[in-house]
A = this chain, B = another copy of it.
């Protein structure tokens, strides 16, 4: 079990907890998918906070593990992972990301699917830095980045792979609040309670008016982009770069 879920005053808190960097693997994705399906269906849950543990919200994919995956298995995993962030993007209840630490690659994608991102000030970074290890992105992750930051800012972020400090991420548009570590839980709860105070049917309806077209674009483009991602992932250049990472990590 890599997801600790607690409940208080109708607010569910789902904490990723896997190793030192909360790296995402297939078991994490399966567990998150089942967990959020349950949270969506449970009438006692008014809103959800997604957070991490230690110095990481999450580092992103557990790359060493995926280097042992066969191509077909990795495609299956990527289909599940992109399906997860798409489901979170249109999650029918308020969903707040409490970014307790570094929020990298796949971790950044999960955070972009939320309705609000509160990030701790200080040394943590947030990035879609796939380009820096020679990987591409998934179409849905690009669409969510565009949704949050606008097309020009999104492109700047994904073509540079820049590791954004919290203030820079706020400026870019992908972080909504920056708080001290001591205030993170309190501020995330406050935002979740504020959103949970709205009429649930009206909230869900307005959220879908805001996001449904983007979610449909994500679904329409995802399969092709996964296949292109795979081609580049297993290309000679990128593969040798990833192997080096594995040895050094």
**Which of A11-19, A37-45, A59-67, A194-202 is found at the contact surface with chain B?**
A194-202
A161 to chain B, nearest CB (A): 8
| Alpha-carbon distance A232/B204, docked complex (angstroms) | 11
Q: Indicate which residue in B132, B176, B202, B209 contacts A139 across the interface (CB closer than 8 Å).
A: B209
In the complex, A225 has a CB within 8 A of chain B: yes
Determine whether the beta carbon of B159 is less than 8 Å from that of A203: yes
In the complex, A238 has a CB within 8 A of chain B: yes
Q: Which residues of B contact A151 (CB under 8 A)?
A: 146-148, 150, 210, 214
8 Å CB interface, A184-210 against B: 194-195, 198-199, 201-203, 205-207, 209-210
8 Å CB interface, A136-180 against B: 136-137, 139, 142, 146-152, 154-156, 158-161, 173, 176
Q: Indicate which residue in B156, B229, B237 contacts A199 across the interface (CB closer than 8 Å).
A: B237
Determine whether the beta carbon of B205 is less than 8 Å from that of A159: no
| Alpha-carbon distance A130/B198, docked complex (angstroms) | 10
| Alpha-carbon distance A146/B237, docked complex (angstroms) | 35
Residue of B nearest to A197 (CB): B132
Determine whether the beta carbon of A159 is less than 8 Å from that of B209: no
| Alpha-carbon distance A130/B195, docked complex (angstroms) | 14
A206 to chain B, nearest CB (A): 5
Q: Indicate which residue in B137, B150, B205, B214 contacts A209 across the interface (CB closer than 8 Å).
A: B137
In the complex, A7 has a CB within 8 A of chain B: no
Determine whether the beta carbon of A198 is less than 8 Å from that of B132: yes
In the complex, A228 has a CB within 8 A of chain B: yes
| Alpha-carbon distance A233/B150, docked complex (angstroms) | 32
Determine whether the beta carbon of A202 is less than 8 Å from that of B135: yes
